[in-house]
């Protein structure tokens, strides 16, 4: 069975911070990107999956339901994984589908209309908040942290910022 080293919501998916900062130091050898749109786009999927770091990280792209199917098939093998989700809804699908996620770092969600800033790099809509609350209510730790050296904000603190 695989070890999930980190589960992160980052709407930018794969970028330097994920490849260089978050994946180092915890033994990660594979990053699973979870985004329905990217999984359906053969060109973008090929770009992500052909990206290799100098450290040899492998990248695979899944839809949210595809990730659940892959877990049911072989528990992700013997990989040391980082899961990067485009949004909270996909994390909710994974958790409800039995993927053993114990914590979620919400690290980057861009500013859009009708959102509230909870940390410098995370803006939540009411739907985002409700999805995260459902995940949290299932016993998954949800926290907000842009980079490893920054302070973590709890779900309770985010609720206060959201006026909940």
CATH number at residue 117: 3.40.35.10
CB-count exposure of residue 56 (10 Å: 0-12, 13-18, 19+) = exposed
pTM of the model: 0.93
Residue 164: C-alpha distances to residues 101, 121, 126 (Å): 25, 20, 10
For 79-133, how does the pLDDT look when each residue is reduced to its tens digit (9 = 90+)?
999 999 999 999 999 999 999 999 999 999 999 999 999 999 999 999 999 999 9
- Per-residue model confidence (pLDDT) at position 66: 98
**Domains contained in the chain, number:** 1
Structural domain including 14 reads 3-162
């Amino acid at each position: 069975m695989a070890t999930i080293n980190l589960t992160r919501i980052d709407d930018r998916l794969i970028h330097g911070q994920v490849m260089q900062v978050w994946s180092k130091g915890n033994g990660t050898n594979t990053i699973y990107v979870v985004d329905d749109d990217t999984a359906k786009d053969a060109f973008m999927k090929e770009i992500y999956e052909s990206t290799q770091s100098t450290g040899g990280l492998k990248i695979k792209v899944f839809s949210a339901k595809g990730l659940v199917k892959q877990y049911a098939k072989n528990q992700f093998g013997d990989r040391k994984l980082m899961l990067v989700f485009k949004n909270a809804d996909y994390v909710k699908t994974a958790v409800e589908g039995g993927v053993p996620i114990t914590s979620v770092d919400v690290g980057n969600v861009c500013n859009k209309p009708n959102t509230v800033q909870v940390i410098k790099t995370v803006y939540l809509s009411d739907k985002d908040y409700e999805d995260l609350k459902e995940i949290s209510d299932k016993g998954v730790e949800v926290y907000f942290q842009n980079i490893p050296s920054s302070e973590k904000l709890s779900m309770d603190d985010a609720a206060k910022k959201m006026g909940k």
